[in-house]
Amino acid sequence: MSRARFDVKSYPGFVQLTVLCLLILYLPLMVVAVYSFNASASIVNWEGFSLRWYADVFTGPESAKFKLAARNSFIIAITAATVATAIATLAATAMIRGGRFRLRVLSLGLISLPLMVPEIVTAVATLIFFNTIGFERGTLTILLAHIAFCIPFAYLPISARMQGIEDTYEQAALDLYATKRQAFTRVLLPLMMPGIVSGYLLAFIISLDDFIITNFVKGAGVETLPTAIFGAVKQGLKPNIMAISTMLVGFSIIMVTVSYFVGKKDN
Amino acid sequence: MKNILKSTIAASALLAAAGAAQAEGKLAIYHWFEYIPQELLDKFAAEHDVEIVMDTYDSNEALLASLKAGAMGTYDVAVPGDYMVKIMAGEGLLDTIGEGELSNKGNIAPKWADPAFDPGRRHSIPYQWGSTSFMVNRDVYQGDINTTDILFNPPAELSGKINMLDSQGEVLAMASLHMGIPQCSTDREQLKALNDMLQEAKQHWASFNSDTAKEVLVSGDVAVGQIYDGFGAKARAEGANVEYAFPTQGYVVWMDNVVLLKDAPNRENALKFMDFLLEPENIAAVSNYARYGAGVTGAGEHMDPELATQPESNPPETAGAGVFIEVCDQQTQEVYDRIWTALKK
Amino acid sequence: MAGGAAGGGGTQGDTYKEARTWLLLPTWVTLSILVLVPVLLMLVYSFLTKEFRGGVIWEFTFAAYDQFFCDRGLFGDEPCSIEWTYLNIFWRSIWQAGLATILSLVIGFPTAYFIATRPARVRPLWVFLITIPYWVNLLIRTVSMRFMLREEGPLNNFLVWSGIADAPLQMINTNFAVQIGLFYSYLPFMVLPIYAAVERYNFSLSEAAADLYASKWTTLRRIVLPAVRPGVIAGCILVFVPSLGAFLAPDLLGGAKNFMIGSLIEEQFKGNAGNWPFGAAASMILLSMVLVILMIYARQQARAGGEER
């Protein structure tokens, strides 16, 4: 390497641009986090450190609304992620451990469909669909829509993981007279766990964060956290929204960190 | 895996429980944003042991769009403005309130008991009434503000600092007043001129927003904002140096009404809620919160005395006439829809 | 997010060959009913007659597409001339999304390159740092950006305080704000695929070029860039496609004044317009555009794959 006339790996300005990139990514979130500790009711002036807006989120006049929205969000995210992960695990088994077959490409296309169709289009299509079949909009419509678009997100890490596991393990089990079901539940599934956990967390976060589709298919008075926040933000950014946002940021970071270390331990 | 399974079962159980809890004693309200005090809803909920869910919209047109987009049968009551009551009744979206079904119907102020948009109050009761005009930040502009030129042909210091309501009815009615033409004109020259005028005026506008109409004035993001009188009074109360204009060309007046929706899942509770809002004390609480007038006899006694004297509710001598928004026939309406789309493109 | 996301993906044995139909059945059923059928239904809706003030009448018509492409005057009775209103909205969306993509590339490429040239041990940490913001709700990120760009917001305060600007700049409610918002929303999508490509890049190629007296920037342009091109293209698509249909950034940062495709579609269902067939038609046109882009991409990938072999 030393024979090169210059270090081929570094370019002037790249470090600065990387710093700029991180600044752009983090600065708005940090500013909001800082202002969530502002004692003032105005978002413009800084009047000293206070936790009042965090208290406000839990006990203030809007707390009931946000608590209900948070409960809805978590119930929907847990359920959607679980169902989507189960479906995706089965699909991955067929796709990766099912040999080559004619419908394979088509199935792959179907699984990637929610990723390819722009979100606003999915939202419109789902609304039209529920409306045409006369399915009353409510929590259930949100849940169904979320399951659909969570499947590919759960599928990605699961299938990636399964590709990395050689089938010799199951073959060995089968040679030892295990049934295919046993080979699946006792050998393959435990080996796949890190992938399944990543897939589950990914689907969970995606569901928790969704706004556009939820906004189209939600029923009367059913709010999730994003729709409740959107409703509140439309009328102006208030400090209690900043507090909620900061808590969600913290929650997301914890989730991603957990999933990162689950993945790392595995390597 | 077992844990995941367990949490799913728990979640489904919660979901089912949530559904069951809502099944009895419920009332679903579809309402304007920031327009009813939470305490009043709590009071009704406590008095009648019902659980209230409320969704909000930000324009009459959005209310209609959403109801026609399959939301019928999910809400019990909504709060459309005058012209929208007429449209919704025409669309068959409203249920008829039977004779004697509202025990407080007699409380409706005589002035509002038989309005043109709902003769005999067969579908609705008065909620709040007020005007729509605009406010100007007096720190930025000191000249005469009582003219629609402020919105459509603004002086240089206000250009680019104007927020319009994201509401077709209000913007186009105001524009018609500015031009001095009827609201449902079929005269091609007038319509073309209206379209040209709006395209020109758009250059001076910063944004279309209804729900942030107050915030942008308070924060100083804009210097002029089209706004409802009571919402404007709140902006002033929050410390903005803004003044409500009563243009000599005229301004929009409106009345919002609580309507009984067809296929209301909780019709009984909806009627109870209407009766509740016809109690002078209760509707006055709305007025005190939203800063608009009420249409119920005797509500004045319970109102904040400042309401009667607030500048937003008291047009000066010079003010033009207040006009209601009119309902055009389909062919005419489609031309106005095109003008609006071209404006927002 | 789009395209090769689910990847070609090789198989790994055929242990569960017999069960594959059953294993795939839940996926087929769920996604067919909840995605495929709705999209086809939307196609049908785009050919239905709109009902005055929202809803549809089940009568076949081209009216929605006619409205999109044909300007028939204010009164709707002139012969068809090209309707620029919606084409302009689409053009504006393409342009805004394009600028956001270029901006992401300018910042994202050096970042990706820098990360990929760190010691292997710390690389995952850098990647982790880039991905964290993506996991924060897009709505919250857009709101934060709105707060940053306000007339009396932190950015303007900083600009005035540091003397870079004399007076606060009008940033919120402008096209610039929308571009910044889009760029900010999808920046990690640009960095990650490029990073993956640079990481696989064989740096001895650069050294060879340097030995042959190629300058630093020539090496980057002629050797590195072609080698990592698939990653760059993937990054551009991952930023461009979601930007194209974005709804939050134009609504919250652009003042809902200069429509983009997403806001146009939303308005047909939730806003003033209430024209369902038109909203469905606009959605179909957006979807076709995205699918064409993805198909070109897939073909390129296939060709690139062919060359490698």
The answer to whether the CB atoms of C36 and A113 lie below 8 A apart is: yes
**What pLDDT does residue C5 have?**
38
**What pLDDT does residue C245 have?**
86
Determine the distance from the C-alpha atom of residue A116 to the mean position of all C-alpha atoms in its chain, rounded to a whole number: 17
C268 near B69, Cβ under 8 Å?
no
**Res. C7: pLDDT tops 70:** no
**What pLDDT does residue B16 have?**
46
**Res. B2: pLDDT tops 70:** no
**What pLDDT does residue C97 have?**
93
Query: What's the pTM?
Result: 0.84
The answer to whether the CB atoms of B12 and A130 lie below 8 A apart is: no
**E-assigned strand segments in chain B:** 26-32, 51-57, 77-78, 124-137, 162-164, 205-208, 224-228, 242-245, 251-260, 322-323
Which residues does chain B have within 8 Å of residue C259's beta carbon, measured at their own beta carbons? Answer: 344-345
* Arithmetic mean of pLDDT, A15-36: 89
Q: How many CA atoms does the CB half-sphere of B114 hold within 13 Å? A: 2
- Taking CA atoms, C112 is separated from A18, C108, C271, in Å, by 8, 6, 41
Q: In this complex, is the C-beta atom of B54 within 8 Å of any C-beta atom belonging to chain A? A: yes
**Res. C17: pLDDT tops 90:** no
User: Which residues 48-87 of C have a C-beta within 8 angstroms of B?
Assistant: 51-55, 74-76, 85-86
Q: In this complex, is the C-beta atom of B186 within 8 Å of any C-beta atom belonging to chain C? A: no
Q: What is the 3-state secondary structure (H, E, C) of chain A?
A: CCCCCCCCCCCCCHHHHHHHHHHHHHHHHHHHHHHCCECCCCCCCCCCECCHHHHHHHHCCCHHHHHHHHHHHHHHHHHHHHHHHHHHHHHHHHHHHCCCCCCHHHHHHHHHHHHHCCHHHHHHHHHHHHHHCCCCCCHHHHHHHHHHHHHHHHHHHHHHHHHHCCCHHHHHHHHCCCCHHHHHHHHHHHHHHHHHHHHHHHHHHHHHHCCHHHHHHCCCCCCCHHHHHHHHHHCCCCHHHHHHHHHHHHHHHHHHHHHHHHHHHHC
What does residue C184 show for φ and ψ, rounded to 5 degrees? -65, -35
Is domain B130-253+316-344 given the CATH code 1.20.1600.10 in the classification? no
**Res. A265: pLDDT tops 70:** no
Which residues does chain B have within 8 Å of residue A80's beta carbon, measured at their own beta carbons? Answer: none
Q: In this complex, is the C-beta atom of A25 within 8 Å of any C-beta atom belonging to chain C? A: yes
CA–CA separation, A173 vs A165, rounded Å? Answer: 14
- What are the residue boundaries of the structural domains of chain B, listed by start? 20-128+255-308, 130-253+316-344
**What pLDDT does residue C104 have?**
94
Is domain B20-128+255-308 given the CATH code 3.40.50.970 in the classification? no
What percent of chain A shows pLDDT beyond 70? 93
- What are the residue boundaries of the structural domains of chain C, listed by start? 90-268
Which chain A residue lies closest to B264 (C-alpha atoms)? Answer: A220
The answer to whether the CB atoms of A120 and C262 lie below 8 A apart is: yes
Lowest mean pLDDT across A235-244, C247-256, C298-307 = C298-307
More confident residue, C273 or A183: A183
Q: In this complex, is the C-beta atom of B238 within 8 Å of any C-beta atom belonging to chain C? A: no
B260 near B273, Cβ under 8 Å?
no
pLDDT in tens, C265-309: 988 887 666 788 999 999 999 999 999 988 888 887 777 765 544
More confident residue, A6 or A101: A101
Lowest mean pLDDT across A137-146, A216-225, B310-319 = A216-225
**Res. C50: pLDDT tops 80:** yes
- The one-character DSSP state at C35 is I
**Res. C103: pLDDT tops 90:** yes
ipTM: 0.84
Q: In this complex, is the C-beta atom of B116 within 8 Å of any C-beta atom belonging to chain A? A: no
What percent of chain B shows pLDDT beyond 90? 65
**What pLDDT does residue B296 have?**
93
The answer to whether the CB atoms of C247 and A21 lie below 8 A apart is: no
Kindly list the partner chains of chain A, i.e. chains with 3 or more CB atom pairs below 8 Å.
Answer: B, C
Confidence of residue B134 (pLDDT cuts 50, 70, 90): very high
Residue C167 neighbours by CB distance under 10 Å: 9
pLDDT in tens, C51-75: 877 778 899 999 999 989 988 888 8
Q: In this complex, is the C-beta atom of B73 within 8 Å of any C-beta atom belonging to chain A? A: yes
The answer to whether the CB atoms of B8 and A83 lie below 8 A apart is: yes
**What pLDDT does residue B21 have?**
45
The answer to whether the CB atoms of A125 and C138 lie below 8 A apart is: no
**How close are the terminal C-alpha atoms of chain C, in Å?**
26
Which residues does chain C have within 8 Å of residue A144's beta carbon, measured at their own beta carbons? Answer: 34
**Res. B317: pLDDT tops 50:** yes
Which chain C residue lies closest to A263 (C-alpha atoms)? Answer: C124
**What pLDDT does residue B256 have?**
95
CA–CA separation, C100 vs C235, rounded Å? Answer: 12
* Arithmetic mean of pLDDT, B120-144: 94
Exposed / middle / buried, residue B292 (Cβ in 10 Å: 0-12, 13-18, 19+): buried
Domains B20-128+255-308 and B130-253+316-344 share a fold: yes
What is chain A's mean pLDDT, rounded? 85
**Res. A89: pLDDT tops 80:** yes
Which residues does chain B have within 8 Å of residue C172's beta carbon, measured at their own beta carbons? Answer: 221
Residue C285 neighbours by CB distance under 10 Å: 19
pLDDT in tens, C114-158: 999 999 888 888 888 888 887 777 888 888 888 888 877 888 888
pLDDT in tens, B218-268: 888 899 999 999 999 989 998 889 999 999 999 999 999 999 999 999 999
Give kind and range of the element (H or E) at residue C44: helix C37-45
Which residues does chain A have within 8 Å of residue B73's beta carbon, measured at their own beta carbons? Answer: 136
Is domain C90-268 given the CATH code 1.10.3720.10 in the classification? yes
Confidence of residue B340 (pLDDT cuts 50, 70, 90): confident
**What pLDDT does residue C208 have?**
84
The answer to whether the CB atoms of B11 and A236 lie below 8 A apart is: no
Q: In this complex, is the C-beta atom of B14 within 8 Å of any C-beta atom belonging to chain A? A: yes
The answer to whether the CB atoms of A220 and B1 lie below 8 A apart is: no
* Arithmetic mean of pLDDT, A197-223: 86
The answer to whether the CB atoms of B188 and C75 lie below 8 A apart is: yes
Confidence of residue C14 (pLDDT cuts 50, 70, 90): confident
What does residue B25 show for φ and ψ, rounded to 5 degrees? 65, 55
Nearest-CA distance from A162 to chain C in Å?
8
